[in-house]
Structure 1
Amino acid sequence: MVTIKDVAEKAGVSPSTVSRVIADSPRISEETKQRVRSAMKELGYHPNAIAQSLVNRVTRTIGIVMPRSAEHVFLNPFFPEALRGISKYAHDEGYCLLLTTGNTEKEQMESLKSIVYGGRVDGLILMYSKVEDKILGKLLELNIPFSMIGRPYSCEDINYVDNDNEKAAYEATNYLIKKGHKRIGIINGSLSFVVSLDRYRGYKRALVENNINLDESLLTSSDFVQQGGYDCMNLLLSNQNPPSAVLVTDDLMAFGAIRAAREKGLKVPNDVSILSFNNIPLSEHATPPLSSIDINVYKLGYEAAKILIDEIQGRSAEKQNIIVETKLIARKTVVNKK
């Protein structure tokens, strides 16, 4: 096994200098750092991460806090894609990821305390934003660096990355109205999530500005899963005056909505148009291809990792709020009713 002494001998420096290079000490010149790193690479030497963390009190690990257990979360492609963005930036900066788990809020809290109190992470990324979230309250109490994917419900000074979800839903609803739709339903995610509240506000504002009455019988919400979209669509289609178009706030839910419409003998988009959110890769391969709002999930994850590591590394003294642009991708699930 290659040791730190072997690297020192190869680079022509002392073992303590090698240790300082590994810790990226500013006291060591760039020329020496390059010489030591070349020796490490040539000899195949990998620093002991556990020993480093004990000495430097850093783990170079980021904790990921999911909205519920990974078993259920990964059913929705949003989370793997966001994690892909996080892992890209984290890898480039030499950080590993650690996922917390928990089926209930209590289990989530226990998992969070375990990794923070155990000194297993340098910071955390909260993958969601909920109304009155106890997990967020605990993160603020722990005073550990963290960032969020999603706008915080309250106005604390917090690192977060999000889309302008109210604006995106407003523009999506206006798009349906311009296509001639007057009776527009909504299949929303759980209203305990801030993203669902923001998208509802955008939907409502577009209707009001176009002098279209808000019909509460066309407002539905459920979990961000295919079954949720299926159940909500069945509810909308059982209405005495069903909608001609439906805004769905998640592609996976939209797939369930399309299935429900087909089972009732209806055609998408001829009988009911559907416009969705997230633009996951499967959207363009659906039958028919799904019109969807591209929220750039990968970038949401990438930027969440960036602002967190900026704080951990001391590169940013101020909290950062980043808004990622959205884009409507028109495919084949919306028909012109004019």
Structure 2
Amino acid sequence: MSVTIKDIAKVCGVSPSTVSRVIADNPRISQKTKKKVREAMKELGYHPNFNARSLVANSTSTIGIVMPRASDEAFSHPFFPEVIRGISVAAHEKDYMILMTTGSTKDEQMEAVSKMVQGKRVDGIVLLSSIINDPFISMLLEWNFPFVLIGSPAEKIDKVNYVDNDNIAAAKKATLHLIEKGHKRVAFIGGLKDLVVTKHRLEGYKQALEEANIDFDQSITSYVDFRKEAGYQAINQLFENKKPPTAILVTDDMIGFGVLTAIQEKGYKIPNDVAVVSFNNFTMAELSSPSLSSVDISIFQLGYQSAKRLFDLIKDSSLDPIGIEVPSKLVVRQSSKTIKKIYK
């Protein structure tokens, strides 16, 4: 026979309504009573009925995650499992569940988000990427629905809650690191052009060149998808240049792994002939050959802080929008250590 609220109330010497308020985390119930009731629930193996709880609290106890692409494609990239892990930890702390969108096209994803919101399936949403002219942001703002964006918004920044790194400063620092090693021919391989993160890292790269009195050269810039194969192909194109680069700033480690492979297949030594710095600092960056210098953007914290902010918005919808900055740091490894010769 299953344990009921009445059983918990009897053991604790309180009313069933008090137990219900503890389950709903009512602030009027003392911490002492909450602790007593929760310990009894755990000891007796009682699990709240989430459907009933949702009806009483007018809450789904669920948050939504909007994937930037088809889920099978997204999960093949290490960024998304790690950022979702951060969201999951924060959700677990609040006893919330997670619902993710499905859909291989933008229209299918828009429909999935509409069902989430209009069907009252979630209490709030985390958007996992930021693009220029983002239709999800416009839609959620119009509906006045709680959401947090991972990445800086391209528009309406004063109306959006978001969590991001200072990608301009991080890219500038990484580029200056290469320039300080003696490189004056530094290429840039970015993600797709409609991504805000690509725009910001390109800006940081340009700022570093300007500070070092190096002209920006469009012929050694490339924009690709976040895949190893794309990085490999980008190198083949960049090294067709009459004056190929001696260093490369790459905006994603997966692209970076393809870059390392292609450079070495061409007979160049890393970092003596070509130095490489990337972003994200995945575990494989340390294990690659050579190990890949990379900017650690604290992916877990991006997810964790976004979910924490979302729960604040769910609790109080009147909060003013804010941007939360998660720190980043350059981790220097073999791919960009001191070189033996200075390029002129």
Using structure 2 for the length normalisation, give the TM-score.
Answer: 0.94
Structure 1 counterpart of 2:186, from 184, 187, 191 = 184
Q: Are 1:170 and 1:206, in contact at CA under 8 Å, matched by a contact in 2?
A: yes
1:241: Cα distance to partner?
1.2
Q: Are 1:123 and 1:145, in contact at CA under 8 Å, matched by a contact in 2?
A: yes
Greater shift in the superposed pair: 68-77 or 259-268: 259-268
1:165 maps onto 2:167 in alignment = yes
Identical aligned residues as a percent: 52
Aligned to 1:91: 92
Where does structure 1 differ by over 6 angstroms across 4 or more consecutive aligned residues? Answer: none
Structure 2 counterpart of 1:217, from 216, 219, 222 = 219
Q: Distance in 2 between matches of 1:133 and 1:211?
A: 35
Aligned to 2:12: 11
1:79 maps onto 2:80 in alignment = yes
1:47 maps onto 2:40 in alignment = no
Q: Are 1:75 and 1:225, in contact at CA under 8 Å, matched by a contact in 2?
A: no
**What amino acid is aligned across from residue 329 of structure 2 in structure 1?**
K
Q: Distance in 2 between matches of 1:38 and 1:211?
A: 65
Q: Are 2:130 and 2:196, in contact at CA under 8 Å, matched by a contact in 1?
A: yes
Greater shift in the superposed pair: 20-29 or 191-200: 20-29
Aligned to 2:298: 296
Could you tell me which runs of 5 or more consecutive residues in structure 1 were left unpaired when the two chains were aligned: none
Aligned to 1:102: 103
Q: Are 2:279 and 2:295, in contact at CA under 8 Å, matched by a contact in 1?
A: yes
Q: Are 1:149 and 1:160, in contact at CA under 8 Å, matched by a contact in 2?
A: yes
Q: Are 1:276 and 1:293, in contact at CA under 8 Å, matched by a contact in 2?
A: yes
**What amino acid is aligned across from residue 295 of structure 2 in structure 1?**
I
Cα distance, 1:29–1:208 mapped onto 2, change above 3 Å: closer
Q: Secondary structure of the equivalent of 2:159?
A: coil
Aligned to 2:152: 151
Q: Distance in 1 between matches of 2:175 and 2:10?
A: 67
Q: Secondary structure of the equivalent of 2:210?
A: helix
Q: Distance in 2 between matches of 1:177 and 1:24?
A: 55
Aligned to 1:126: 127
Aligned to 1:198: 200
1:270: Cα distance to partner?
2.4
Greater shift in the superposed pair: 15-24 or 221-230: 15-24
1:280: Cα distance to partner?
0.9
Q: Secondary structure of the equivalent of 1:72?
A: helix
Aligned to 2:266: 264
1:38: Cα distance to partner?
2.1
1:316: Cα distance to partner?
7.6
Q: Distance in 1 between matches of 2:213 and 2:168?
A: 18
Q: Are 2:158 and 2:321, in contact at CA under 8 Å, matched by a contact in 1?
A: no
RMSD: 1.5
Aligned to 2:57: 56
1:214: Cα distance to partner?
1.4
Using structure 1 for the length normalisation, give the TM-score.
Answer: 0.96
1:151: Cα distance to partner?
0.5
Q: Are 1:85 and 1:299, in contact at CA under 8 Å, matched by a contact in 2?
A: yes
The count of residues paired between Structure 1 and Structure 2 equals 338
1:300: Cα distance to partner?
1.1
**What amino acid is aligned across from residue 43 of structure 1 in structure 2?**
L
Q: Are 1:307 and 1:320, in contact at CA under 8 Å, matched by a contact in 2?
A: no
Aligned to 1:33: 34
Q: Distance in 2 between matches of 1:98 and 1:46?
A: 20
